[in-house]
């Protein structure tokens, strides 16, 4: 368990990288690793790795390093990946279908039970075995099936009204792909995935590298 609850989001957002890295190490049958070796893989400093992990308890041993399997199991617990979650997707466009077709989510305990849309041409279909229902059935379905997570892949114009309905139905968390900031009660978790913003950051980094190269060329 965490030593305290005042853990920064920067630390929390690094945890999935630790989880993925340790899982990869186990697949390669590597069962012991030092913070210095982890640093070389992840790109974080060894000191940063130790500080991050110390937020959640002492996992390493001086002179030994980390037991990869034990650390991986602990991070899985910290991330809440030792239980299963029920989810629904609202919006059966290209992005919604891509999420439904992503088998890795289910592997980690996130089961998409159903999808919802207003398009009559989509209602009644199945996407990789996941049924598509009319949006009118959303509220009742969430209640009847104790769904915890709602995934929004709708146009931004309707995303807030969809979020309102999800909240009213008792959803605990929303994974939002619509390019809009949602307003929800404090007890509802929202994780925004704004693809354009990620693309713009990449564009900025490309520009910065080009400018740096141009300056280096001038100095030659």
95 is in an annotated binding site: yes
Closest alpha carbon to 92 in 152, 167, 161, 10: 152
Closest alpha carbon to 92 in 173, 171, 162, 189: 162
Length of the chain, in residues:
220
94 is in an annotated binding site: yes
Closest alpha carbon to 98 in 112, 85, 118, 86: 112
96 is in an annotated binding site: yes
Q: 50 and 112 in contact (C-beta within 8 Å)? A: no
Residue carrying structure tokens 């030994």? 64
Strand order in the sheet with 110-117: 126-127, 130-134, 110-117, 85-90, 149-152, 173-176, 189-192
The two tokens of residue 157 are 């114009």
| Secondary structure of residue 99 in the 3-state scheme | helix
132 is in an annotated binding site: no
Which residues make Cβ contacts (< 8 Å) with residue 132, sequence separation at least 6?
92, 114, 115, 116, 117, 122, 123, 124, 125, 126
Annotated binding site for NAD(+): 91-96
Annotated binding site: 91-96
């Amino acid at each position: 368990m965490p030593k305290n609850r005042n853990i920064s989001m920067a630390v929390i957002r690094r945890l999935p990288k630790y989880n993925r890295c340790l899982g990869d190490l186990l697949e390669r049958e590597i069962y012991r690793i030092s913070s210095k070796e982890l640093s070389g893989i992840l790109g974080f400093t060894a000191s940063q790795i130790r500080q991050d992990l110390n937020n959640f308890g002492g996992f390493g041993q001086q002179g030994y390093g980390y037991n990869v399997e034990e650390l991986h199991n602990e991070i899985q617990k910290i991330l809440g990946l030792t239980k299963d979650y029920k989810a629904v997707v609202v919006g059966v466009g290209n992005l919604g279908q891509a999420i439904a077709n992503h088998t890795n989510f289910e592997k980690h305990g996130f089961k998409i039970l159903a999808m919802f849309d207003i398009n009559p041409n989509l209602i009644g279909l199945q996407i990789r075995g996941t049924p598509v229902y009319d949006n009118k059935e959303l509220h009742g379905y969430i209640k009847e099936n104790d769904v915890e997570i709602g995934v929004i892949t709708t146009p931004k114009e309707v995303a807030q009204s969809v979020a309102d309905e999800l909240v009213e139905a008792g959803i605990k968390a929303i994974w939002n792909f619509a390019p809009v900031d949602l307003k929800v009660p404090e007890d509802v978790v929202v994780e925004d995935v704004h693809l354009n913003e990620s693309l713009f950051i990449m564009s900025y980094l490309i520009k910065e590298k080009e400018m740096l190269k141009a300056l280096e060329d001038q100095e030659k």
